Amino acid sequence: MKKWMYAITIVLAMALVLLAFVQDAKYSELNKSKLHRLQFRGTIMDMESGEELPLGDTAYDEIGAAERVRIKGHFTENIQANEQIFIFLRRIQVTIYRNGQKIYAYGAPKQTFPYSRSAGNIWGNFYTRGIHETDEIVMEFYNPYPQNSSKIYQLCMEQLYSGDKMQLFKHMLNEKLSGFLAGLVILLVGLEMLCVAVNLQMVKVKDTEPILNCGMLFLSASLWLLIDYNYISLLAPYGVGWEILDAIVFVSIPTFALRYTKWFMHSGAKKAADILETLLAIVGTGYLVLLILGRIDGEIMQQSFRNMMPVVMVGIFICILYEIFHTKDIIPKLVLGSGIVLLLCGFAGTIQYSISEVKGVYLFGIGLAVFVFVQYWLMIFMMKRNTEKSQKAQKMEQELLESKISIMLSQIQPHFLYNSISSIQELCLSEPEKAHDALAQFAHFLRGNMDSLTSTKLIPFEQELKHVKNYLALEKIRFEERLQVQYEIEKDGFFLPALTIQPIVENAVRYGISKKKEGGTLTISTRETENEVVIVIADDGVGFDVNSLGKQQDNRSHVGMENVQKRILARCNGRMEVKSKIGEGTTVEIVLPK
């Protein structure tokens, strides 16, 4: 990971903390002038039993999470015309009347998602034509969830405001600022981890799975922290949509946490963790499919999953504890130890939620902060270690490749020298003067080209073509007019491995043209396409059976051809194609990516 990525994370985290202090200092005075918390006096009645009580803590406790409730009374102050009233609805429906006339309703079946009992957790708001403190206000509530908090109506009546929507958003955000900032920082770290995992996979670094799973865990946890209905529904009033997303990340957190910690398990605990992961995957996927298809209510889904979580948490706790006592590696101990802290805080948060119907943000946040710190440090350590391993492996691979290429060249060089000397030897007996000229040409060739012939690096095409021309000059002395050479060079200025064209030309002369009584023509051409350079070596010699290439029974020498094919693949990711027809000739096409 680049150092500037760490710097960005630290700077943004510091900026967010500074924002918290500035916001807290400036907002209190602004809030007083544009936002008012409304007080309501009256009675509350369970519409099923008909019992009516004066509003107060004891009355709310006695009513509990009754299905139908009526609150009747009046506001303690006048509300001006065209002023907005806000009321926070926790998965309940409401209809509000002023002096017997309906002025607002929200949460009716037509306003909800199919198969959902409520419109989610959302701020309801409406403009008034003015409400006097003597006006009778009646609020009729319907609670479709018996498992709702026993203080559901008290929490609703405590969140009555009048004023500006943006100021209410700022007020709610200010109250939840610590969770919001923690969510942003964890979101940033999660996205950073995902980017690192993707980049490492692109350069083929191994063992990136834990970084990827940890990034997904942080992404899910950050969204769970950020989806706070108290302020987010003021920005986007889609209660059911937020509830579905909340359910998805709620299911994802334990899944990715288990996948991440399981990677560090190597004892028998890993098998138990596999079973727990399978259970989570089946239940979580089933819930989400039913939720997306609209066959199950999001709140009921989350409640069912929450009821299962204590069992899963205990199972994960036992697996982690067992692994900690059976491993000697410090890294798994750190990861699993921080996982236990997160697990205990999450368990406490789950209990808090089941009791108060309020997210255990602070408890979960403490465990998450410890977990994030440990994992972020480990990510840096693991990434550094994996990068060093990858670089070492690449270096060893390159050395191995260079060694293979050197072996290939060592095969080609003697082969080339042997054929050249053999040609001169034949001339010594039949035509001594030509042999003298050929020997001089061969000596000149060796003086000018031995360095590049022994090089494992890529050389310019022009240099390789010079080798070929020197070799053909030797063969022209021997074969005279029986050997004709044509050059059709449309593209140059590219690089290729040494001894790429020469072995092919040698085969064309030695086994193609020389076997033909009247001789023949050798053509060397180059051209380019949009993404490739194409080299073609063609002869009109005797041709051969392409299927015999590489077979021992073939009396032709194909050492050079085979090595050329391997070297252009290894060094240039190129390819070679051979086409031949007996009696008509052979064409070899070399394709090199630009």
Residues pairing with 460 in the sheet? 495
Query: In sequence order, which ranges of 130-176 are alpha helices (DSSP H)?
Result: 152-157, 165-175
Among 371, 384, 367, which Cα is nearest to 334's? 371
Question: What span, in angstroms and rounded, lies between the C-alpha atoms of 442 and 464?
Answer: 16
Which residue is listed with tokens 């077979």?
551
Q: What is the pLDDT of residues 441-479, one digit of tens each?
A: 777 666 655 555 556 678 899 988 988 888 888 788 778
For residues 475 and 524, membership in a common domain is answered with: yes
For residues 375 and 214, the answer to whether their CB atoms sit within 8 Å is yes
What is the DSSP annotation of 463-492? HHHHHHHHHHHHHHHHHGGGEEEEEEE---
CA-CA distance, 161 to 123, in Å (whole number)? 10
Q: What pLDDT sits at residue 449?
A: 58
Contact 277, 260 (CB under 8 A): no
What is the rounded CA–CA span in Å between residue 168 and residue 86?
9
Which tokens belong to 266?
Answer: 């190597």
Tell me, yes or no, whether 4 lies in a domain.
no
434 or 105: which carries more pLDDT confidence?
105
Q: Residue 63 domain-assigned?
A: yes
Look up residue 207 and give its amino acid.
Answer: D
- The CATH number of the domain holding residue 115 is 2.60.120
The pLDDT value recorded for residue 415 is 56
Q: Is residue 435 part of a domain?
A: yes
Query: From CA 432, how far away is CA 445, in angstroms rounded?
Result: 20
Output the pLDDT for position 553. 41
Residue 523 has pLDDT above 90, yes or no: yes
| Residue 398 within a domain | no
Residue 23, pLDDT > 50, answer no
Percent of the chain with pLDDT over 90: 20
Evaluate whether residue 363 is within a structural domain: yes
pLDDT beyond 60 at 195: yes
Residues 501 and 470 grouped into a single domain: yes
Confidence (pLDDT) at 411 = 46
Q: Is residue 415 part of a domain?
A: no
β-strand pairing of 483-489 with 520-528: parallel
Looking at the domain assignment, is residue 10 inside a domain?
Answer: no
For residue 232, with 0-12 CB atoms within 10 Å meaning exposed, 13-18 middle and 19 or more buried, which class applies?
buried
Taking phi over 0 as left and psi of -120 to 50 as alpha, with beta for the rest, 204 belongs to left
What is the mean predicted confidence (pLDDT) over 217-234? 87
- Report pLDDT digits (tens) over 75-125: 999 998 889 999 998 888 899 999 999 999 987 665 555 556 677 788 989
Q: What is the mean pLDDT of the chain?
A: 78
Single residue among 358, 387, 416 that ends a domain in this structure? 387
Q: Which pair of tokens denotes residue 350?
A: 């789950």
Judge if 201 and 84 occupy the same domain: no
Question: pLDDT-based confidence at 569, cuts 50/70/90?
Answer: confident
Residue 482 to residue 63: CA distance in whole angstroms: 112
Q: Where does residue 115 fall: left (phi above 0), alpha (psi -120 to 50 degrees), or beta otherwise?
A: left
- Dig out the tokens for 49 from the structure: 């039993």
Measure the CA–CA gap between 516 and 541, rounded to whole angstroms: 6
* Spatial separation of the C-alpha atoms in residues 37 and 342, rounded to whole Å: 37
218 and 356 part of one domain: yes
User: Do 191 and 298 reside in the same domain of the chain?
Assistant: yes
In whole angstroms, give the CA distance from residue 215 to residue 221.
10
- pLDDT score of 21: 44
Report the alpha-carbon distance of residue 226 to residue 342 in Å, rounded: 18
Provide the 3-class DSSP secondary structure of residue 386: helix
- Of 123, 138, 163, the one marking the end of a domain is 163
Q: How far is CA 421 from the centre of its chain?
A: 60
User: Do 253 and 133 reside in the same domain of the chain?
Assistant: no
Please identify which residue in the block is written with the tokens 């950050």: 222
Mean pLDDT of 361-378: 74
**pLDDT for residue 219 is more than 80:** yes
Instruction: Give me the CATH number covering residue 582.
Output: 3.30.565.10
Instruction: Read off the CATH number of the domain in which 245 is found.
Output: 1.20.1070
Say if residue 24's pLDDT is above 60: no
pLDDT digits (tens, 9 = 90+) for 492-517: 999 998 888 988 998 898 889 988 88
Residue 381 has a pLDDT of 75
Q: Please name every residue paired with 163 in a beta bridge, in sequence order, or none if there are none.
A: 35, 84
Q: What is the DSSP letter of 79?
A: B
DSSP state for residue 127 in the 8-state scheme: E
Do 184 and 143 share a domain, yes or no? no
CA distance 130 to 82: 7
Domain that includes residue 589, residue range: 431-593
Residues 228 and 364 in one domain: yes
The answer to the question of residue 416 being in a domain is no
Are 137 and 185 in a shared domain? no
230, 360: one domain: yes
Q: Which of 114, 132, 163 is the last residue of a domain?
A: 163
- Residue 291's contacts (CB-CB under 8 Å, 6 or more residues apart) are 244, 247, 248, 298, 301
Write out the E strands in 2-159: 35-37, 40-46, 52-54, 68-75, 84-90, 93-98, 101-106, 121-127, 137-142
> Do 579 and 446 fall into the same domain?
yes
Q: What is the pLDDT of residues 246-266, one digit of tens each?
A: 877 877 888 888 888 888 887
What span, in angstroms and rounded, lies between the C-alpha atoms of 455 and 409?
9
Contact 479, 541 (CB under 8 A): no
Distance CA 24, CA 572 (A): 61
- The pLDDT tens digits of the residues spanning 153-177 come to 988 898 999 988 888 998 888 888 8
Whether residue 54 has pLDDT greater than 90: yes
Give the residue among 496, 506, 508, 494 at the shortest CA–CA distance from 568. 496
**How many domains does the chain fold into?**
3
Could you tell me which residues come within 8 angstroms of residue 174 by beta carbon, excluding any fewer than 6 positions away? 23, 24, 27, 31
Tell me, what amino acid is at 148?
N
**Around Cβ 3, how many Cβ atoms within 10 Å?**
7
Burial 76-92 (b: 16+ CB within 10 A, else e): eeebeeebebbbbbbbb
Cα–Cα distance for residue pair 531/7, rounded to 1 Å: 39
- Separation between Cα atoms, residue 382 and residue 211, nearest integer Å: 9
- Flag whether the pTM goes above 0.85: no
Alpha helices, H only, 227-357: 229-235, 239-262, 269-292, 298-326, 330-356
Residue 269 and residue 339 in one domain: yes
pLDDT over 70, % of the chain = 76
> Rounded CA gap, 99 and 132, in Å?
11
Closest CA to 196 of 383, 377, 13, 331: 383
Radius of gyration of the chain (CA): 40
